[in-house]
Amino acid sequence: MAELDISDEPSTVTPRKPRRGWPVFTVIAIALIAFLAGGVGGSFQGKLAEVQKNDNASYLSASAESTIVADESAKFVTVETIPGFVVFHRDGPLTEQDKESIANAATAVTQVPGVDKTGMAPVQYSEDGTTAALFVPLVAKSDGTQVQGDVLAETEQHVMDAARSAAAAELEVLPAGPGGLLVAFIDAFQGLDGALLGAALLVVILILLVVYRSPVLWIFPLLSAMLALGLSSMVIYFLAKQDILTLTGQSQGILMVLVLGAGTDYALLLIARYREELHAYPNRFDAMIRAWRESAPAITASAVTVILGLLCLTFSELNSNKSLGPVTAIGIACTYLVMMTFLPVALATAGRWVFWPRVPQVDHAADLAAHGMWGRIATTVGNRARPAWIGTTVLLIALCAIGIGSLQTDGLTSTENFTNNPEAAQGQAIYDAKFPQGTGAPAVIMTNADAAEQVIAVAGGVEGVATAPGSVCLQIDYAKVAGLNLGTGAPASAPTGCPPPQLTVQPIDGRTVVTATLTDSYDSPEALETIERLRTAVHAVPGADALVGGNSAATLDVQTASVHDRNLIIPIVLVVIFLVLAILLRALLAPLILIATVVLSFAATLGVCGFFFTHVFHFAGADQAFPLFAFVFLVALGIDYNIFLMTRVREESLTHGTRSGVLRGLAVTGGVITSAGVVLAATFAVLGVLPLVFLAEIGFAVAFGVLLDTIIVRSVLVPALSYDIGKRIWWPSALAKAED
């Protein structure tokens, strides 16, 4: 194939002066509003923790069986709690002095505000005498008012402080149980406003300095991104405050890196086009108007694609996924608004000097396709188009094959969810080794009161349910038990076996509560299998209308809903993106090819993730939601770079023909798109700063996938395939029939 020359002589034709009418003044007005709102909104970023929700109800839908049980069982108690333990341990047997100090610690803990002291039980001692455990339920909801995550974390810290102050100095005192692990999870997000944002900003600054080679220019996109983050934080805060949407720590972390990454992407594209137009226009405002109008379709299509892709998460059963869609979509919308209003106004107002020391001059060298490394890359792709796209396709298939089989998405236990080893995980490991693992987080069964005895008998025979006396009983009414010991200042004594009827909850509307202790840790795979068997058994009890909830059931429902969401939402996202691309490119074949390449890139990313998660990072596995999250972010964001490329290719094809347009589009956009991909990959990689396996896995997957899309798919596969197909890629539009 003959080499295609794209090195046209620089244009010497003075460009037509752009119209100064609408939307110039509209953009300026919105820019001023965005600047003021974003500046004020910056103060709300630190307040987002106040409206975060990280309990099971924030993740599950109202129709989940465990949610129904939680709502119904709440009628039987005035205070809803999260079970937790304080573990006291030493390498040798506990001494009498140790036991005395542990008793003092138990008394001290009852004085901590936020602890449900009526639900506390006497200290348990392990069979080998080396460990003691104090059951300490934390108040999660009182009189219909939900306790916020930061308050729970503070209460848990006060509990541990009180226990450690009273316990003997030689004892190791650690938190455990669902309460301790939930608080550890909440604590993991405390770095959002510090370590995560600081690391992300540092990464973006360093990359922008390398890209622009200017000590000044990087300030403009970064300032714009921070304004977008402030604006989105303010909007999300008020919506979450009014319970219009749910904000989790997970969605807040993703919001930050998404706004910084996508915002920098949009800024890079606009600034690159602005620099290009400054070579043609003496007046910088004219250059910006032209750059804005030429960049707007691609940036708008990119933002719309990402927003619609994220909003597809609203079809989710999981509240966490359902809320992540609007949260991140708001972030992208605010980012688009700021980058298309404040940024161009600020750049045009500042003048050419912001590009110093490489200030663009009016030399009419508007045809930049002939310059730089990407011009040579484009020529090489054109000369070897067919071997290039075949070779890259084989490479992507090979990457998929190396690890897709080892990617385990069966879920993670609470202790496996951390990349570090928090105290709650250490305490849970000791507790599991020394005590019956199912204690403290029983299955909760709602049943008709007249069938309670039959439900208890059936549940007691289910494999995985404890068989010791008192393992399956009507729920104890701790307020009544506490009343027997009023004035003692110590936790109420735990009954042996099932409590007598006068100490159990009384039926309400013909319904009552049964608790069943499991033999395995509440979030272990074995416990979840027990819940499935237990549900099958009690659902079959005639006239019981029995439902099973509790911590284990909630974990199971989350995992089941994650699989449902993955199978439902992925096809919806593909259809939505296809429609956007078809409208943007006015073709059907090109969108199909672009989606196929991105899906192939996604499969290759999963293969690499499976290899690295298993053999390099040694993670225990991945969450069921991982494939969905990775898909939505990779496909929605990965298609961005193809949009940036193909919109420019189509623009060039109208003048120069399709094959020449492909190479010219690649040459002109190559540098800026690669820079944008590096920025986005680096910002998502920063998620690894937080000590959570799920976010570390998402960060790695998106970072690797974006680089793969940018360097291989967008730079080689798409242009080579488009070049080989030629003008037929625009089928069925008129451009497919136009002469080159």
Max distance between CA atoms of the chain, in angstroms, equals: 97
What are 605-623's pLDDT values in tens digits? Answer: 999 999 999 999 999 888 8
Structural contact between residues 327 and 313, judged by C-beta atoms closer than 8 angstroms: no
Do residues 411 and 533 share a domain? no
Distance CA 510, CA 308 (A): 46
Do residues 118 and 177 share a domain? yes
The total of other beta-carbon atoms located within 10 Å of residue 349's CB is 13
Do residues 55 and 68 share a domain? yes
pLDDT at 8: 43
Residue type, 92: G
Range with the poorest average pLDDT among 119-133, 185-199, 658-672, 697-711: 185-199
The verdict on residue 360 lying in a domain is: yes
The verdict on residue 429 lying in a domain is: no
pLDDT at 725: 93
Do residues 505 and 564 share a domain? no
The verdict on residue 490 lying in a domain is: no
Q: Of the residues 344, 366, 388, which one is the last residue of a structural domain?
A: 366
CATH number for 519: 3.30.70
pLDDT of residue 449 exceeding 90 = yes
Please report which confidence band the pLDDT of residue 483 belongs to, taking 50, 70 and 90 as the band edges: low
pLDDT of residue 549 exceeding 50 = yes
Q: Of the residues 506, 526, 549, which one is the last residue of a structural domain?
A: 549
Do residues 733 and 594 share a domain? yes
Q: Nearest CA to 385 among 573, 660, 76? A: 660
Distance CA 379, CA 75 (A): 72
What are 266-285's pLDDT values in tens digits? Answer: 988 899 889 888 888 888 88
Do residues 414 and 281 share a domain? no
pLDDT of residue 488 exceeding 60 = no
Backbone angles phi, psi at 134, to 5 degrees: -110, 120
Do residues 538 and 570 share a domain? no
pLDDT of residue 233 exceeding 60 = yes
What are 456-471's pLDDT values in tens digits? Answer: 999 999 999 999 888 9
Do residues 74 and 144 share a domain? yes
The count of domains in the chain is 4
pLDDT of residue 182 exceeding 90 = no
Do residues 693 and 732 share a domain? yes
Distance CA 145, CA 433 (A): 36
Do residues 77 and 28 share a domain? no
| Mean pLDDT, all residues of the chain | 85
Distance CA 287, CA 291 (A): 6
What are 531-541's pLDDT values in tens digits? Answer: 999 999 999 99
pLDDT at 533: 96
Structure tokens at 170: 């030689």
CATH number for 108: 3.30.70.1710
Q: Nearest CA to 324 among 309, 305, 304, 339? A: 309
Distance CA 650, CA 584 (A): 10
pLDDT of residue 238 exceeding 70 = yes
The verdict on residue 524 lying in a domain is: yes
Do residues 232 and 112 share a domain? no
Q: Of the residues 366, 394, 413, which one is the last residue of a structural domain?
A: 366
Distance CA 530, CA 546 (A): 16
The three-state DSSP-derived secondary structure of 269-311 is HHHHHHHHHHCCCCCHHHHHHHHHHHHHHHHHHHHHHHHHHHH
pLDDT of residue 392 exceeding 90 = yes
Instruction: Work out the burial of residue 404: count CB atoms within 10 Å of its CB; fewer than 13 is exposed, 13-18 middle, 19 or more buried.
Output: middle
The total of other beta-carbon atoms located within 10 Å of residue 169's CB is 6
Q: Nearest CA to 158 among 182, 183, 181? A: 183
The verdict on residue 168 lying in a domain is: yes
Domain range holding 503? 442-483+495-549
Do residues 347 and 282 share a domain? yes
C-alpha distance from residue 661 to each of 292, 664, 715, 726 (Å): 21, 5, 14, 10
Residue type, 473: C
pLDDT of residue 693 exceeding 60 = yes
The verdict on residue 623 lying in a domain is: yes
CATH number for 618: 1.20.1640.10
pLDDT at 21: 47
The verdict on residue 223 lying in a domain is: yes
What are 297-329's pLDDT values in tens digits? Answer: 888 988 998 899 899 988 988 877 788 889 999
The verdict on residue 428 lying in a domain is: no
With a CB cutoff of 8 Å and minimum separation 6, the contacts of 399 are 604, 605, 607, 608, 708
Overall residue count recorded for the chain in this entry: 740
Structural contact between residues 684 and 676, judged by C-beta atoms closer than 8 angstroms: no
Average pLDDT over residues 22-40: 76
